[in-house]
Amino acid sequence: MIEFKNVSKVYPNGTRGLTNIDLTIEEGEFVVIVGLSGAGKSTFLRSVNRLHEITEGEINVNNKSITKAKGKALYEIRRDIGMIFQNFNLVKRSSVMRNVLSGRVGYHSTLRMIFGLFPKHDKELALDALERVGLKDKAYVRADQLSGGQQQRVSIARALAQEAKVILADEPVASLDPLTTKQVMDDLAKINEELKITMIVNLHSVDLAKKYATRIIGLKEGKVVFDGSVSEATDKAFEQIYGKVDEENVRKRAAK
């Protein structure tokens, strides 16, 4: 469970990233965040695991304040939160297996990790995770030899090996073609359903949001302007999020 309590974020240069966000995301939800570029989607996501510090309010993850947590406590909360990026964030020259195993780093001492000594249990977890995303046969291939979609599924496997309870995905399919996009989104949906891992996914596509979300949150200028189920997300709701389409202008541009 993730709870935003009156959260605001102002960047050091004065730009407002988020303003008075108050909401709770329950375990097992598949939340899609939509909004125009600059609406605050990435800021929202990165606030959850404190990649960004908020400037007001508090965020609780499973009833623990990540905002106030320090040292070991912060580390332990973060261990439950996996993150997936648009550009995959893999170590390209390492094997797929190494990349997935890196999801286990948070469970071991630094010294052990310097020597790369992962216990057998970790290797089993990593292989299970790869099997779940259909890439077990690629375990010992170098990450940069995989296609973009496969690399993104490796990053999903890394979050699974981490045994994350929540996965944050910042535009996970923005650099993928439509077929690969479907495979990656289907994997996220399957993991959400089968393992009850909470998903918070930033997307640019309204169609994908409607297809995969159980709940859509619309941000505009750092504020929540829509929060509801897919059936409540009508064209009118999207107008609120994206602003009214200037049809006159669209027609003029098309005519050029």
Ligand X SMILES: Nc1ncnc2c1ncn2[C@@H]1O[C@H](COP(=O)(O)OP(=O)(O)OP(=O)(O)O)[C@@H](O)[C@H]1O
> Tell me, what amino acid is at 59?
I
Residue 185 is inside which H or E element, if any?
helix 178-195
> Should residue 67 be labelled a site residue for Mg ion when binding is judged by CB under 5 A?
no
Q: Which is nearer to ligand X, 15 or 145 (CB)?
A: 15
Number of residues lying near ligand X (CB under 6 A)? 12
41 lines the binding site for ligand X (CB under 6 A): yes
- Residue with structure tokens 């070991």? 72
Rounded-to-integer distance, Cα 60 and Cα 219, Å:
20
- What single letter denotes the amino acid at residue 208? L
| Number of residues that this document lists for the chain | 256
Torsions phi, psi for 219 (to 5 deg): -110, 145
Tokens of 215: 């709940």
Question: What minimum distance in Å lies between the beta carbon of 86 and Mg ion?
Answer: 8
Q: Report d(CA 66, CA 76) in Å as an integer.
A: 10
Q: Select the binding partner of residue 35 from ligand X, Mg ion, none (C-beta < 5 to 8 A, by kind).
A: ligand X
Which CB sits closer to Mg ion, 99 or 181?
181
Q: Rule CB under 6 A: choose which of 38, 57, 106, 148 binds ligand X.
A: 38
Query: Rounded to whole angstroms, how far apart are CA atoms 58 and 48?
Result: 10
Cβ-Cβ contacts under 8 Å for 151 (sequence gap 6 or more): 88, 90, 143
Of 29, 32, 43, 215, the one binding ligand X (CB under 6 A) is 43
Helix (H) or strand (E) holding 160: helix 148-161
For residue 59 the two structure tokens come to 């965020």
Interaction between residue 231 and ligand X (CB under 6 A) = no
Least distance from Mg ion to the Cβ atom of residue 102, Å:
24
Q: Does 172 bind ligand X (CB under 6 A)?
A: no
Closest C-alpha to 210, from 192, 191, 228, 187: 228
Q: List CB contacts of 87: < 8 A, sequence separation 6 or more.
A: 175
Query: Which of residues 4, 32, 40, 167 is near ligand X by CB under 6 A?
Result: 40
Q: Is 42 in the site for ligand X (CB under 6 A)?
A: yes
Neighbours of 221 (CB within 10 A): 14
Q: Which of 34, 39, 146, 173 binds ligand X (CB under 6 A)?
A: 39
Pick 17 or 149: Cβ nearer Mg ion: 17
Shortest CB 34 distance to Mg ion, Å: 11
Q: Which residue, 41 or 78, has its beta carbon nearer to Mg ion? A: 41
The 14-33 site mask, x for binding ligand X (CB under 6 A), equals -x-x----------------
The stretch near ligand X (CB under 6 A) out of 22-30, 36-44, 87-95, 210-218 is 36-44
Smallest separation, CB 153 to ligand X (Å): 22
Contacting residues toward ligand X, per CB under 6 A: 11, 13, 15, 17, 35, 37-43
Contacting residues toward Mg ion, per CB under 5 A: 41-42
